[in-house]
A and B are shown apart, each in its own frame.
Chain A
Amino acid sequence: MEIVIRLDTVEPPVGSVRLLAGPDLSYRGAEAAAVGFAGWLGLLRALYEVIGSRGDRPSGK
């Protein structure tokens, strides 16, 4: 995978996440949509979104 994280501010982080190459190694390049985020929580959620896996339920539940 190839993910680009662009930070406009660092703490808390604000910016966007783009998935350039997915798990299947397909290159998306300019087609990759940017997912904006704000805060560490937002960053995590953005990563889950672009990766397509977010562990809907904690395994301990």
Chain B
Amino acid sequence: MYSFSHPKIHAVFLHELMLGETQGHTIYSTKIKDEFAFKMPDHLMNGMAIGTIIKSCIPDIEDPSSLPICDLQHIMACIYLASDKGHLEVDLNCVKCKEYYPYTIDLTKYMDSFSAKMWYAPIFLGALKINIAPPTIRVYNEFAIQEYRVMKQLDQISKHEEKEKYYPLAKQLLEKKETLKWNFCLDSITSIGVNGKLVTEKEYIQDWFDQCGVIEKTTILDHINLAMKQTSLPEINTECSTCKSIIKSSLNLDFCEIFRHRLIAMTEEDIIRTMDKMGKENKKITQRIMEILWAMRGALSYDEAMNLTSIDMECINKVIEQNIENTTKSKMPLL
């Protein structure tokens, strides 16, 4: 199938840099068909949308879910840049004066700040050397979905349960949330070095981890949190233009996670409305494609149109508009 999209960026992923691989990957712009991935609730919910986008823009990645999580934010930043969306518009909220105002982030300025060094640095706990590695995007997604479920339930019980029932349920859910956090840590441990030996057996590592003191576990958790932070965009730190107080905000490029977070506080009606809106937006994209196909008089197939990039679309739209203008001026019939 012909694709109008052409290579835009060449990038070496963070984990590859750590492993000394320098071949890298060619990154293409997102296409019209990818727009659907951003607007399919099920795909967003189960995290598949990320995989769809990565596969579409980096064709040499066969199984995006098996990539290490340390690459996710960096890859998404590369895809945004390749799609000419390097200037991200975000709405910052000043907690003090409650003002919302748009803020633009130039991704090119932050590309060098991504680093997976912490993910590949061992943690020393006395005589133990804890070796960690980033879990895959698939594993991370499973945790993120479970965490979403817990958060959604917490939100639900806070709205619908009476105090007597709320507290025991909330305790259960909070414990579950904390357990998920520790399980993610455990999944990140690949081996433990002790007395010159390397313990790789998962059951031994789990036995040790389960009985570990809270300080030791917190040391591991802090290290992993820092590793996650370093593979993400740095925190936005800016001054509110109204009240001059400092606004801090983190920017997440995992749009599936953002979608799930948005859903947490939504009511059932809000969720239905959001789904409807997404459905309508998808229809609009299809409608626009059909208009282009009609205007191109068979020069493009449906599949080819779906593989257009946003810049291609812009160019074709200009040509169509020009044609309409010309035919209108010349009073020729528009067939």
To the question of whether A and B form a pair in one complex, the answer is no
Identify the B interface with A (CB < 8 A). none
